[in-house]
Amino acid sequence: MHNKTYGQLVEKMHEVSLLPPQNFGRFSGLYHHFVPFLKESPWKVLAFAALFAGLIFYVLFGDKTIRLTSILQLGF
């Protein structure tokens, strides 16, 4: 148990020595609150974001969206 904790500590120190943690001043708390959602299984957040972006896109551009997807489909 002690060795495991020590190993994790050494690993963390090594990480920090290579890459200093992000600093957002007074927004750091907010950043550290949201970032775990992107570190592990971000696809859940991405799926919602994609759905939302798709919806906004459709609201803004209406039927032009369909023309855009037709053009995109020719893009491979």
Partner 1 sequence: MQRINRWIVIFILVFLKNAWGSVQYPYRTLRRLASGSVLWEALPVGFFTMLYLIWTTVARNGISAHPLFLSFNLLKLTFAVVITFIIVVYSFVVVGRLLGGTGSVKTVLVPWAYSLVPTLVWFLVTSLLFFLFPPPRTLAWSGKLLSGVFLVFSWFLFFWKGILYYLTLRFGMRLDFFRILLASVILFPLGAVYALILYRLGIFRIPFI
Shortest Cβ distance from residue 39 to partner 1 (Å)?
A: 4
How far is residue 63's CA from residue 69's CA, in Å, rounded to a whole number? Answer: 10
Rule CB under 8 A: which of 3-62 touch partner 1?
15, 18-20, 22-24, 38-43, 46-47, 49-51, 53-54, 57-58
For tokens 């299984």, name the residue.
41
- Kindly state the greatest CA–CA separation across the chain: 62
Chain contacts with partner 1 (rule: CB under 8 A): 15, 18-20, 22-24, 38-43, 46-47, 49-51, 53-54, 57-58, 63, 65-76
